[in-house]
Amino acid sequence: MNNVVIGRYLPGNGVLHRMDPRTKLLGLVFLLASVFLIDRFFHMLLALGLIIVLLLVSRISPKRVYLGMRPILFLLLFTFIFQIAFNEEGDLLWSLPLNWSLSSLAAVVAIVFLWGFTRRYVRFSLLYFLLGAAAVLTALANLDYGYTLTTGTLEVYEDGLQSAFFIMFRLIVIVAISTMVTMSTKPTDLNLGLEYILKPFKILRVNTEEIAMIIAISLRYIPTLLDEANKIMLAQASRGVDFKEGRLKEKVTQIVSLLVPMFIISFQRSDDLANAMEARSFVPGAPRTKLHVLIWRRLDYVALVVIFALFLASLGARLV
Amino acid sequence: MAYIEIENLSFAYDNKTTALQDVSLSVEQGEWVSILGHNGSGKSTLSKLLVGLLRPKSGSIRVDGFELSEDTLADIRRRIGIVFQNPDNQFVGVTVRDDIAFGLENLCIPREEMIERIEEYSKKVDMFDYLNKEPQQLSGGQKQRVAIAGVLAMRTDVILFDEATSMLDPEGRSRLLQDMKRLNEEGGTIITITHDMRDAVHSDRIVLLKNGGVLADDSARNILGDKELLEQASLELLLPLELMHTLQAEGLGDDTLREYLWQLSLNG
C-alpha cells in the first residue's frame, strides 16, 4: 500500500499550504497550459527555474516531490534516449563508432545481467542505471574482437540533445506542479475547491454538489476499505493463499478471492451508510448549508494575477 | 396521547415471511424504553420503520402528532435520531467535526450556529479534543459517541440506539451506557433496541419481541423477573438475575437479597 503515499497531503505552513484550493486548482490548469504553450528551450529553462523557486518558497520537501516523480523516471529516460538517438537535425556534436561484434555483444549481455542482479542492492538506482548504460556504450565502442556482425555510429546532434532536455524538463515541470498541489492541499479541500470551480457547469444540469458528496464519501471510505482489504488478505493468507508468489493464473485466482468479499462488504457498507445518511435527514439534491466556506485572500489574488500573467506571456511567446 | 404511537404495525421483506406482525406500542416523552428480542425477532425492522427507511405493509406510526407518510418524513426525522450498530458505517464525515456537521448541513442550519452546536455537543460527549481527528484514529466507542453528538446536535426529541453497543469493547459499551443514562436523566427520550440484557436493565420499560410480535410490555423489573417469559423469548439472563431466579425457584433468599442482586445486575 506504499504507493498510495505518493503525492499525499503533508501538513505544513508554506505559501502553497495557505492558498485557497480554488486558486491552486485554477493555477494548476493555467500553468499546465502555459507549459504546453512554451516552445523555446530558454523559456522552458525559465519555467523550470520558477518551479524550483516555488518549491523552495513553499517549504515542501523536494525529496517528496522527487519521490512523486519516481514512477515516471523510466518514461523520462526513454523519451530522452529516443530523442538523442533519432533526432538528426542541427550540428553534429559527437559521434561514437559502435562495433556489434561477438565479444562486444557478449560483454553487453554480461553487463545487463550483472546490472539486473545487483541493482536491488544499490541505493541510487538512477545513477546506477546510467553507469550501466555508460558501460554498455564503452563495451560497444571498444571491443572489436571476434566476428563483427555490423558496425554503426551513435551520433548526437544539437537539436536532438536540446529537444531531449526540453521534453524531459516539460515532464518534470508538469509532474512537479501537480505533486506540489496535491501535497499542499487536503483532499477534502481539493474536493471543496473543485465543487466551487465546477459550479458554472450547473447550467448544463450537472449537479456539482452531488459529485462533490460522492468524492467526499469515497475519500472517507478509502482508508476503511484498505483496512478491510488487509484483513481479508490476512484471513486468506491464514488459509494458505500466498499473495506474493505464484504464476499469473494463480495470481488471478488470488485477486478474485480478495475482490469477491470486498465487493460484498462494500455493498453492505453502502447500504448501511445510505440508511445512516437518510436517517440524518439527507435528501439528495436538496439545499444544504455548509460548514466549510472558502474565502479569497490577498495571497490568492496576487497568485492568480501572477499565474495569469505567466499564461499570457507564454501565449504571447508562442504567437510571436 | 403518547409521543410515539405505533398501532397494528406489520411488515414483510417478501411474501413468505412476516418480519413484524400486528405490533402496537407507545413511548412517552422522557421515557427510556428498551425493545428487547432475540435475533430475527423483528427489532431492527421496527427501528427502520420508525424513521421511514422501510415502508410498513399495514398499520400506522405517529410521532408527536405526525402520522408517518411521504409528506411527514422530514418532520419525523427531525424528531427521531438513530445511532446504528456499526460505528464505521455511519461515520459520514472525513473528520469528527465534519461528521457532526453532516446532519446540521442537511437541516440547513446557518454556519455560525453550526459551529456553536458542534462545540457544545462534542464537549457533551467528551470528543471536543478530537474534532479534527479522522475516523480511523478513533476507537469504536469514540465513533459511537461522535454519532451521538451528531444526533444531539440535530436536537431530536428521541434518540434510538439500534444495537449501538454490540460492536464495542467492554469499556466502550459501559461508557456508552453511562451516556445513555445521563441523557435520560436530562429529560431525553431514549429507545434502545437490543438483544443484550445489560443494555435493557436500566430502562424504565421493556417491550419484549418474539417472531415479529409483542410478547410482553411491562416495567424492566417485572419483565426481567419473569423467568418463563424470558425463556420463551430465548434470551440469556444476566448472572445476578439467573442467581435470583434460582433462589426464587428453591424458595430461598429474602427480599433484601433479591433487591441486592437486582442492584448488582444494574451495575453489570
How far is residue A211 from each of residues B49, B95, B98, B105, measured CA to CA in Å? 29, 19, 17, 16
What domains sit in chain B, N to C, each tagged with a CATH number? 4-220 (3.40.50.300)
**B103 pLDDT exceeds 90?**
yes
- Identify all chain A residues contacting B81, using CB atoms and an 8 Å cutoff: 279-280
Q: Which residues contact B120 (CB under 8 A, 6 or more apart)?
A: B153
Q: Are strands B205-210 and B189-194 parallel, antiparallel or unpaired?
A: unpaired
Give the separation between CA A243 and CA A251, rounded to whole angstroms: 7
Selected residue of A189, A280, A288, A292 to mutate for chain B interface (largest B Cβ count, 10 A): A280
pLDDT by residue for chain A (320 residues), tens only, comes to 344 455 678 888 888 889 999 999 999 999 999 999 998 889 999 999 999 999 988 888 888 888 878 778 888 888 888 888 887 787 888 788 887 888 888 888 999 999 888 877 877 777 888 888 888 888 888 887 777 777 778 888 888 888 889 999 999 999 899 989 988 988 888 888 988 888 888 888 888 888 888 888 888 888 888 888 898 888 888 888 777 777 778 888 888 888 899 999 999 999 999 999 999 999 888 888 888 888 899 999 999 999 999 999 999 988 87
Q: Is B115 exposed, middle or buried (0-12, 13-18, 19+ CB in 10 A)?
A: middle
Residue A291 has its nearest CB partner, among B89, B111, B136, at B111
Residue A163 placed within a domain = no
Task: Provide the mean pLDDT of chain B.
Answer: 88
Q: CA of A224: which chain B residue's CA is closest?
A: B136
Instruction: Concatenate the DSSP letters of all residues of A181-216 into one string.
Output: HHHHS-HHHHHHHHHHHTGGGGGGT--HHHHHHHHH
Q: Inter-chain contact A289–B136, Cβ cutoff 8 Å?
A: no
**Burial class of A257 by CB neighbour count within 10 A (0 to 12, 13 to 18, 19+):** middle
Say if residue B144's pLDDT is above 90: yes
Report if residue A312 sits inside a domain.
no
Q: Do B136 and A216 touch (CB under 8 A)?
A: no
Domain span holding position A124: 92-155
Answer yes or no: is A122 within a domain: yes
Chain B residues within 8 A of A217 when measuring between CB atoms:
92
Residue A145 lies inside a defined structural domain of this protein:
yes
- Choose from B53, B94, B131, B159 for mutation: most chain A CBs within 10 A: B94
Facing residue for B77 by CB, picked from A187, A281, A287 = A281
Does pLDDT of B268 surpass 60?
no
Q: Greatest CA separation found in chain A? A: 83
Cα dihedral A155/A158/A162/A168 (nearest 10):
10
- Cβ–Cβ gap A273/B90 under 8 Å: yes
CA dist., res. B220 & res. B149, Å (int): 27
Q: Give residue-wise pLDDT tens across range B74-88.
A: 999 999 999 999 999
Check residue A119 and report its DSSP letter.
G
Closest approach of chain A CAs to the CA of B108, in angstroms? Answer: 5
Q: Which of A277, A287, A289 comes nearest B111 by C-beta?
A: A289
Contact call for A276 and B90, based on CB within 8 A:
yes
End residue of a domain, out of A155, A179, A194: A155
Q: How far apart are CA B176 and CA A51, in angstroms?
A: 52
pLDDT at site A248: 79
pLDDT at site A212: 86
Residue B76 to residue A199: CA distance in whole angstroms: 32
Chain B residue at shortest CA distance from A228? B88
List residues of B whose CB lies inside 8 A of any A CB.
Answer: 48, 51, 53, 74, 77-78, 81-82, 84, 86, 88-95, 97-98, 101-111, 114-115, 118, 134-136, 150-151, 154
pLDDT tens per residue, range B223-257: 887 778 888 888 777 777 777 777 777 777 677 77
Short-list A33, A45, A2, A54, CA closest to A181: A54
Contacts A279 to B, Cβ<8 Å: 51, 53, 77, 81-82, 84
What's the CA gap between B21 and B34, in Å, rounded? 19
d(CA B187, CA A238): 50
Residue A15 CB partners (closer than 8 Å, separation 6+): A57, A58, A59, A299
Whether the Cβ atoms of residue A47 and residue A119 lie closer than 8 Å to each other: no
Q: Which of B228, B236, B191, B235 is nearest to B209 (CA)?
A: B235
> Which SS3 state, helix, strand or coil, does residue B40 take?
coil
Which of B228, B236, B234, B227 lies closest to B199, judged by CA? B236
From chain B, the residues in CB contact with A280 under 8 A are: 77, 81, 92, 102-103, 106, 150-151, 154
Give residue-wise pLDDT tens across range B39-98. Answer: 878 888 898 999 889 989 899 999 998 999 889 999 999 999 999 999 999 999 889 999
What pLDDT is recorded for position A44? 92
In sequence order, the β-bridge partners of residue B151 are none
- Domain membership of residue A27 (yes or no) is no
Instruction: Name the closest residue on chain B to residue A276, using Cα atoms.
Output: B90
What per-residue confidence (pLDDT) applies to B148?
A: 93
Residue B35 has a pLDDT of: 92
Q: Is the pLDDT of residue B113 over 50?
A: yes
Residue A264 resides in a domain: yes
Q: Are A286 and B106 in contact (CB < 8 Å)? A: yes
> How many other CB atoms are found less than 10 A from the CB of residue B35?
31
Distance in angstroms (rounded) separating the CA atoms of residues B241 and B224: 8
pLDDT of residue A3: 45
Which has more confidence, B142 or A10?
A: B142
**Has residue A266 been placed in a domain?**
yes
Would you tell me how many other CB atoms lie within 10 Å of the CB of residue B127?
Answer: 22
Q: Does A263 reside within a domain?
A: yes
d(CA B35, CA B41): 10
Q: What does the pLDDT read at residue A6?
A: 59
- Which one, of A207, A224, A210, A217, lies nearest residue A273 by Cα? A217
- Our count of domains for chain A comes to 2
CA of B71 vs chain A CAs: smallest distance (Å): 13
Q: Which of B79, B83, B102 to mutate to test the interface with A (most CBs of A within 10 A)?
A: B102
Cβ separation B115–A279 shorter than 8 A: no
**Beta-sheet pairing, A148-157 with B32-37:** unpaired
B222–chain A nearest CA distance, Å: 33
Can you tell me the distance from the alpha carbon of B28 to that of A80, in angstroms, rounded to the nearest whole number? 78
Kindly determine whether residue A276 and residue B89, on different chains, have CB atoms separated by under 8 Å.
yes
- Rounded Cα–Cα distance for residues A21 and A177 (Å): 14
Q: Is B235 helix (H, G, I), strand (E, B) or coil?
A: coil
Res. B23: pLDDT tops 60 = yes
Identify which of A219, A220, A276 has the shortest CB distance to residue B84: A276
The strand order across the sheet containing B205-210 reads: B80-83, B158-162, B189-194, B32-37, B205-210, B213-219
Question: What is the predicted pLDDT for the residue at B115?
Answer: 95
**Which residues of chain A make contact with B151, given a CB cutoff of 8 A?**
280
* pLDDT score of A7: 67
